[in-house]
């Protein structure tokens, strides 16, 4: 009996081959790879996709990453240019705990091939403040700190299905909880800021591969909702990662979650 490590499906649930997926993604201006942060298959495929898109786009490929915050861009640039030792880079850029296993390979690939890497996420200190106090707390920040955010004020559509699902995760089924509203605002701050930095850095003729948690791009929401307002003409494609007991068919709950759905076994080993 075969034990495949993954399978790819279209959003409609049709099994698709990687070759066809690559052709479709290569035609996009921005590809969002929605990962489960501890899934090794997703991290492996991110690297493979980056390599294959580089073969197609060359130096016109840009990589954007949720895993670094906008105020660490200079550290990323210095590391990629060989001006900063990795240990120093890791400390100064506040790498995620799973950096070595999951994100270092992509970063080193970019370094070896002279590719630009964009830190797109909001500094976590500001997201934490919003989660405690609401988006209004950002008004008192200095201009220097506001430079690391999407332009204020940030509009939040609380009726987006993804944000409504967040409410239910916090047990708030009626939309009346101030605590859940603040958590959604913090999520929206991240989404809006990532969209802002993608828009700000993507130049004509370039193609961007963005790595993020799947919740930030599933169902064409999150980052994509904000980016479409900034550049409605751009062609966007999405991948998401899900786990299932069986890889035979795509579960109904995962239909239309993304243009491409990467399905891995529920028993797959995790990186943490």
Specify burial of residue 204 (Cβ count, 10 A radius: 0-12, 13-18, 19+).
exposed
Q: What is the dihedral of CA 175, 178, 183, 184, to 10 degrees?
A: 40
* Spatial distance between the Cα atoms of 33 and 46, rounded to a whole number of angstroms: 7
Report the predicted TM-score, pTM, of the whole model to 2 decimal places: 0.96
Closest Cα partner for 177 from 134, 219, 136, 137?
134
Helix (H, G, I), strand (E, B) or coil at 134: coil
Q: What's residue 109's pLDDT?
A: 98
* Spatial distance between the Cα atoms of 235 and 188, rounded to a whole number of angstroms: 22
Q: What's residue 176's pLDDT?
A: 60
Each residue's pLDDT, cut to its tens digit, for the chain (272 residues) gives 889 999 999 999 999 999 999 999 999 999 999 999 999 999 999 999 999 999 999 999 999 999 999 999 999 999 999 999 999 999 999 999 999 999 999 999 999 999 999 999 999 999 999 999 999 999 999 999 999 999 999 999 998 989 988 888 877 666 567 888 999 999 999 999 999 999 999 999 999 999 999 999 999 999 999 999 999 999 999 999 999 999 999 999 999 999 999 999 999 999 99
* Spatial distance between the Cα atoms of 246 and 266, rounded to a whole number of angstroms: 8
Q: What's residue 154's pLDDT?
A: 97
* Spatial distance between the Cα atoms of 156 and 158, rounded to a whole number of angstroms: 6
- Enter the tokens of residue 236: 């966007």
Q: What's residue 167's pLDDT?
A: 83
For 183, how many CA atoms within 13 A lie in the half-sphere containing its CB?
17
Q: What's residue 66's pLDDT?
A: 98
Q: What's residue 192's pLDDT?
A: 98
């Amino acid at each position: 009996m075969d034990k495949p490590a993954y399978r790819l499906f279209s959003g409609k649930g049709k099994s698709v081959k990687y070759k066809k997926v690559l052709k479709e993604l290569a035609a996009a201006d921005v590809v969002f790879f929605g990962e489960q942060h501890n899934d090794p298959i997703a991290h492996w495929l991110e690297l493979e996709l980056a390599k294959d898109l580089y073969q197609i786009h060359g130096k016109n490929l840009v990589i954007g990453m949720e895993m670094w915050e906008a105020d660490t861009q200079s550290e990323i640039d210095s590391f990629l240019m060989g001006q900063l030792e990795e240990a120093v880079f890791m400390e100064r850029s506040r790498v995620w705990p799973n950096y070595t296993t999951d994100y270092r390979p992509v970063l080193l690939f970019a370094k070896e091939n002279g590719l630009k890497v964009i830190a797109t996420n909001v500094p976590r200190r500001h997201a934490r403040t919003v989660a405690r106090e609401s988006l209004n707390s950002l008004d008192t920040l200095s201009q220097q700190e506001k430079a690391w955010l999407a332009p204020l004020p940030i509009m939040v559509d609380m009726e987006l299905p993804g944000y409504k699902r967040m409410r239910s995760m916090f047990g708030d089924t009626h939309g009346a909880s101030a605590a859940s509203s603040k958590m959604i605002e913090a999520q929206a701050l991240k989404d809006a800021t990532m969209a802002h930095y993608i828009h700000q850095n993507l130049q004509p003729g370039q193609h961007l591969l963005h790595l993020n948690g799947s919740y930030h791009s599933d169902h064409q929401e999150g980052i994509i909702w904000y980016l479409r307002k900034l550049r409605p003409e751009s062609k966007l494609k999405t991948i998401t990662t899900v786990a299932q007991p069986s890889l035979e068919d795509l579960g109904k709950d995962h239909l239309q979650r993304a243009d491409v759905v990467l399905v891995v076994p529920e028993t797959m080993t995790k990186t943490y």
